[in-house]
């Protein structure tokens, strides 16, 4: 990644800049305003605070290239989330992101920020988390490319937590979050390349090699990442690889694109809870189904066996 031109000038404590991009170049990213000032989270620590139209980012990472990249990167991510599932509330507060220099700084902040959940979050060994009640992402620098990939993933969860009227089923939420993890950078603007997500592709290859390595579709539609280990013995990375590839298939394949787009539109508008309720009322067999399975059957297909066979073929094509 080449270093973007610096947006700071002079020694002013706070800078307010209008970031203007060529309207004729769709890859240039969205226009936004940027405020930049020094930030001191605690005695002996220093960093920078970056406010854009939709984000309030506090950063102690010493990677200046990463710092300069973040405003345009996250504003571009947000525009992509909004195109995929329009549900943004007008006039809401900025989304908070913290990017610390290292894990000890992150851990100290976490203990103070979410004391009741800290014992859970402190088991994380790489990256960070998104606190759903506050829609706040709290990360530490794990290397520039990996940090940006994680921010794009967690940024989707932030967008959903802040704007979506109801939680998404895990397969849809995590599957969509993985779509933003891979990208090419043009300056500091990401051009998303979900098909080239090498991390997920390698994990998918592992799952396809193993006997019974893929999680069965009904199970996948009802579980979350933690349950992937407890219920089936699959690895967490296998779960993410599967939801990545399945959502990629739904987004790319002509047979499913329109149905999947309707699911996202209805989820963003808050209509899916009523859909689940109506399905349960009309279909006795739905009593044992999760909302994730009901929505899949309602919007995508009720023939899970045929879909699973098509998905396996698609998955194999991704890894060859």
pLDDT for 145 beyond 50? yes
Over the stretch 90-140, which tens digit does the pLDDT of each residue have?
Answer: 778 999 999 999 999 999 999 999 999 999 899 888 899 999 999 999 999
Over the stretch 206-234, which tens digit does the pLDDT of each residue have?
Answer: 999 988 889 999 999 999 876 765 555 55
- pLDDT higher for 183 or 280? 183
Question: What average pLDDT does this structure show over 30-48?
Answer: 92
Q: What are residue 131's DSSP bridge partners?
A: 136
pTM for this entry = 0.89
Residue in 121, 109, 150 with CA at minimum distance from that of residue 240: 150
- pLDDT at residue 225, rounded to an integer: 73
Cβ neighbors of 142 (< 8 A, separation 6 or more) are: 126, 127, 150
- pLDDT higher for 200 or 287? 200
* Summary mean pLDDT of the chain: 89
Residue in 164, 190, 171 with CA at minimum distance from that of residue 268: 164
Judged on CB neighbours under 10 Å (0-12, 13-18, 19+), 88 is middle
| pLDDT range class, residue 2, cuts 50, 70, 90 | very low
- pLDDT at residue 58, rounded to an integer: 98
Domain boundaries defined on the chain: 14-163, 195-319
- pLDDT at residue 27, rounded to an integer: 57
Residue in 240, 256, 227 with CA at minimum distance from that of residue 314: 256
- pLDDT higher for 46 or 44? 46
């Amino acid at each position: 990644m080449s270093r973007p031109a610096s947006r700071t000038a002079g020694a002013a404590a706070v800078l307010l800049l209008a970031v203007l991009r060529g309207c004729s170049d769709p890859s240039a990213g969205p226009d936004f305003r940027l405020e930049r000032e020094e930030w001191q989270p605690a005695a002996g620590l220093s960093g920078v605070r970056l406010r854009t139209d939709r984000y309030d980012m506090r950063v102690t990472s010493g990677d200046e290239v990463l710092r300069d990249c973040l405003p345009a990167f996250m504003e571009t991510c947000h525009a992509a989330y909004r195109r995929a599932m329009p549900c943004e509330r007008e006039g809401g507060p900025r989304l908070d992101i913290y990017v610390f220099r290292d894990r000890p700084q992150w851990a100290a902040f976490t203990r103070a920020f979410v004391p009741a959940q800290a014992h859970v979050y402190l088991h994380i060994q790489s990256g960070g988390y998104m606190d759903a009640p506050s829609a706040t992402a709290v990360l530490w620098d794990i290397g520039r490319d990996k940090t940006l990939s994680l921010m794009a993933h967690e940024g989707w969860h932030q967008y959903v937590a802040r704007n979506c009227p109801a939680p998404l089923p895990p397969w849809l939420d995590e599957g969509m979050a993985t779509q933003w993890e891979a990208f090419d950078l043009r300056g500091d603007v990401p051009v998303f390349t979900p098909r080239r997500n090498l991390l997920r592709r390698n994990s998918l290859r592992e799952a396809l090699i193993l006997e019974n390595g893929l999680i069965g579709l009904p199970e996948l539609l009802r579980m979350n990442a933690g349950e992937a280990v407890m219920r089936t013995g699959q690895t967490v990375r296998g779960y993410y690889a599967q939801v990545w590839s399945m959502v990629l298939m739904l987004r790319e394949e002509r047979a499913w694109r329109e149905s999947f787009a309707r699911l996202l539109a209805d989820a963003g508008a808050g209509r899916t809870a009523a859909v689940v309720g109506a399905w349960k009322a009309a279909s006795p067999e739905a009593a044992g189904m999760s909302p994730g399975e009901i929505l899949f059957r309602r919007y995508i297909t009720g023939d899970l066996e045929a879909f699973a066979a098509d998905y396996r073929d698609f998955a194999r094509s991704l890894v060859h």
